Each structure stands twice: as structure tokens, then as C-alpha cells.
Amino acid sequence: MTGWVAVAGLGPGDEALVTPQVRAALDAASDVVGYIPYVARIAPRAGLRLHASDNRVELDRAAHALDMAAQGRRVVVVSSGDPGVFAMASALFEALEAGPQHWRALDIRVLPGITAMLAAAARAGAPLGHDFCAINLSDNLKPWALIEKRLRLAAEADFAMAFYNPRSKARPDGFARALEVLRTTCADARPVVFARAVSTPQEELRIVPLTEARPEMADMRTMVIVGSSLTRVIDTPRGPVIFTPRSA
Ligand code: SAH
């Protein structure tokens, strides 16, 4: 039996946003590995072993997946959204780089998913219609000074910005500082999207000017999108729609 590893993105939450390619890999798998809430999204079936682990053990989890594949198992490592965006695909390659030589002969594939940024943008309109950047606001894996520098320079370069991991119980203050940095660079009316739990029953969407953006509007299930200087809001009977025109 030939083993393999597929690092797959489950999308933002809605089952309709799981790609057929990811669905097929899950159907063919003998083992699913991942963070507890993501593995909880996989329906149990005979012949499928589920290995749920805590956050922050990404490298151990990746090594476990590679080890099982080397023993002939068919392993899907699950992430939410896209596995290459602040998620398990890089962790898997870090483990591969540091691991035994025979792992490099394994069949390893990365199966893309719909990342939270794109699901949130689509829900709000088209805020990423011109040049944009994505920044992870968690300082778990990088110093806060680097985050502030990137925020400052991205605002100066007039990118629209998508923020992952804006705020958590363990990091209650960083996002307030991020908003302060933006307030020193961007106009007061700059639109900000708070898109929470997009594509799930808990979904909430808010579009506010930068002056009205408050740290408490974001949590770990929220994607924050800040428009560029050209981003505009249109009022419609179904609520505000935000877009960035294609030309600068
Ligand atoms: N690999 C994932 C991102 C992991 S980082 C992806 O591609 O989407 C986790 C962060 O993603 C969360 O803190 C939040 O900012 C964002 N996120 C994930 N799912 C979301 C959803 N359904 N709605 C809004 N934001 C979400």
C-alpha cells in the first residue's frame, strides 16, 4: 500500500465551500490529522481514523502525518480556509525539511481551499478589487515590532489590508495598537469590515468608518478588512456594500 499526505483546506465553514478535490481526498483517506475544531468537521466513517490535537503543536502534528504516510497510510492534514495561509502546509514542509531523508520521497500534495479573506471579501462586496495585502496580527510567531512596521508600510503604500487573527483572549491589546497605527496614516472615513464566522450560522458583518472601529468588534473568529484610500461604500436596501475600484 502506498501512503500519501494531502494538506487540505476545509474553507471558512460552509460545507458547500469545501472543494470537490478536498472532498475526494477525505473520501480516500485512512487518517485525518488536525486541530480539534477542524477535525470535528469531518464525518466519522468506518476505516477512517481521526487524530485531533491541540493548537500550537503544528510541527508534531506534521511529523505524525509524515510518519503515518511513510508507513503506507493515506493521510489528510486539515486546516480551515486554505492550508497555505497561516496554516498547516508550511508546518508540514518545515517538518519535512528537518526530518529523515526518506520522508522526501513521499507523495505530498497541497489542496487549496477558500481562505477566510476571500470569503469575507465576497460577503462584503469587493474590497480587495485592487492591490491588497494580508497580515497575520498574531505575535505568537513573530515580534510585534514587525507587525507594526508592516502595517505602517502597507498603509503608506495604500494597499487594502486583510487581517487574520486580529484579537484573542491571550492577545487582547495588539489589535487596539494596530488601529492606532492605522489612525495615524489613514483618513477617518476609511471603511473597515468586521466579518465574523463567515459562511456559518453565527455569521456577522459590520462595515464602519475607521473612527468608529473598536477593538471589541474583533475576536478570533473575525476577519478584518481595511479599505485603501479609493475604497467606497454604497448603501443598498440590503445593507452597505464595500468595493475598491480596479483602477488607481
Ligand atoms: N488557514 C485559514 C486561516 C487560519 S488563521 C484560512 O485560510 O482562512 C485563523 C484566522 O482566520 C481567524 O483568527 C480569523 O481571522 C480567520 N477566519 C477563519 N475562518 C473564518 C471565518 N469563517 N470568518 C471570519 N474569519 C475567519
Per residue in 81-130, pLDDT (tens digit) is 999 999 999 999 999 999 999 999 999 999 999 999 999 999 999 999 99
Cα distances (angstroms) measured from residue 141 to each of 63, 117, 137, 218, 238: 19, 20, 10, 20, 40
Predicted confidence band of residue 69 (pLDDT cuts 50, 70, 90): very high
Instruction: Look at strands 31-35 and 49-53 and give their pairing.
Output: parallel
80 Cβ closer than 6 Å to some ligand 1 atom: yes
pLDDT at 196 over 90: yes
Contact 139, 175 (CB under 8 A): no
Ramachandran bin of 18, using left for φ above 0, alpha for ψ from -120 to 50, beta for the remaining angles = beta
Query: For position 55, what pLDDT does the model report?
Result: 81
Residue 234 · residue 243 · CB < 8 Å: yes
> Is the beta carbon of 89 within 6 A of some atom in ligand 1?
no
Predicted confidence at residue 242, as pLDDT, reads 98
Q: Is 8 near ligand 1, meaning CB less than 6 Å away?
A: no
Closest residue (by CA) to atom 12 of ligand 1? 165
Confirm if 128 and 191 have CB atoms less than 8 A apart: no
Q: Mutation test of ligand 1: which of 114, 140, 200, 222 has the most ligand atoms closer than 8 Å to its C-beta?
A: 222
Q: How far is the centre of ligand 1, averaged over its atoms, from the C-alpha of 65 (Å)?
A: 23
Residue 176, sorted as left (phi over 0), alpha (psi -120 to 50) or beta, turns out to be alpha
Q: Are strands 222-226 and 160-164 parallel, antiparallel or unpaired?
A: antiparallel
Is 1's pLDDT higher than 80?
Answer: no
Q: Are 9 and 82 in contact (CB under 8 A)?
A: yes
Measured CA to CA, the distance from residue 194 to residue 146 in angstroms comes to 23
Backbone phi, then psi, for 40, in 5-degree steps? -65, -20
* Greater model confidence, 248 or 8: 8
> Residue 188 — very low, low, confident or very high, per pLDDT cuts 50/70/90?
very high
Q: Supply the pLDDT for residue 56.
A: 79
98 C-alpha vs ligand 1 centroid, how far in Å? 28
Mean pLDDT (the chain, rounded): 97
Percent of the chain with pLDDT over 90: 96
- Predicted confidence band of residue 195 (pLDDT cuts 50, 70, 90): very high
Residue 231 alpha carbon to ligand 1 centre in Å: 23
Question: Which numbered atom of ligand 1 lies nearest the CA of 79?
Answer: 1
Question: C-alpha 203: how far from its chain's center?
Answer: 16
Residue 192 dihedral angles phi and psi, to the nearest 5°: -125, 130
pTM recorded for the entire structure = 0.97
